[in-house]
Amino acid sequence: MATKIFVNLPVKDLNKSVDFFTKLGYSFNPQFTNENATCMIISEDIFVMLLVEPFFKSFTKKEIADATQTTESIICLSAESREEVDSLVSKALAAGGKVPNEKQDQGFMYGHGFEDLDGHLWEVAYMDLNAIPQHQAVAEASK
């Protein structure tokens, strides 16, 4: 079954958010872009819809979480290398993002993260499947 993922995130200022994520190397689909929303392309099958808060609110009866004060989710993206993890986090910091946590290095898995301009948490992780300790790989496979 083919599946595409669309993550929807509320943003305060669409233009500033587009500028931020453009500096990280992402592009946007103009077919799904107007003054209320844009479609950020993560990969062939993964997209993030950045929606201005009033438009986002039209999809839910719940209050919008203030991501600068609470955590509503953590979006984790995979990377091809440790260097790619560090590069993306560095770009986010240079573009105005924040780095909320220290790097995590578990040998086979390396990760770091950032907060975007609206406080949404993004993790970036590289995993070397050949370096997973054998006992851990067996435990994961038996789940």
Q: What is the CATH number of the domain that holds 46?
A: 3.10.180.10
Tell me the pLDDT band of 32, cut-offs 50, 70 and 90: very high
Tell me the pLDDT band of 139, cut-offs 50, 70 and 90: low
What pTM, to 2 d.p., does this model score?
Answer: 0.85
CB 119, CB 48: distance < 8 Å:
no
Residue 128 has pLDDT above 80, yes or no: yes
Q: Is there a single domain that holds both residue 69 and residue 138? A: yes
Domain count for the chain:
2
Among 62, 82, 115, residue at a domain's last position: 62
Distances in Å between the Cα of 137 and the Cα atoms of 128, 132, 133 are 12, 6, 6
Q: Which residue has the higher pLDDT, 140 or 120?
A: 120
Tell me the pLDDT band of 118, cut-offs 50, 70 and 90: very high
pLDDT, the chain, mean: 92
Residue 135 has pLDDT above 80, yes or no: no
Nearest CA-CA partner of 11 in 3, 20, 2? 20
Q: Is there a single domain that holds both residue 80 and residue 136? A: yes
pLDDT digits (tens, 9 = 90+) for 83-110: 999 999 999 999 999 998 999 999 899 9
d(CA 58, CA 52): 10
Token pair of 140, please?
A: 């994961």
Tell me the pLDDT band of 132, cut-offs 50, 70 and 90: confident
Give the model's pLDDT for residue 36: 98
Print the domain residue range for 8: 1-62
Tell me the pLDDT band of 143, cut-offs 50, 70 and 90: low
Residue 133 has pLDDT above 90, yes or no: no
Nearest CA-CA partner of 123 in 86, 84, 75? 75
CB 113, CB 122: distance < 8 Å:
yes
Q: Is there a single domain that holds both residue 80 and residue 139? A: yes
Give the model's pLDDT for residue 131: 82
Q: Is there a single domain that holds both residue 76 and residue 121? A: yes
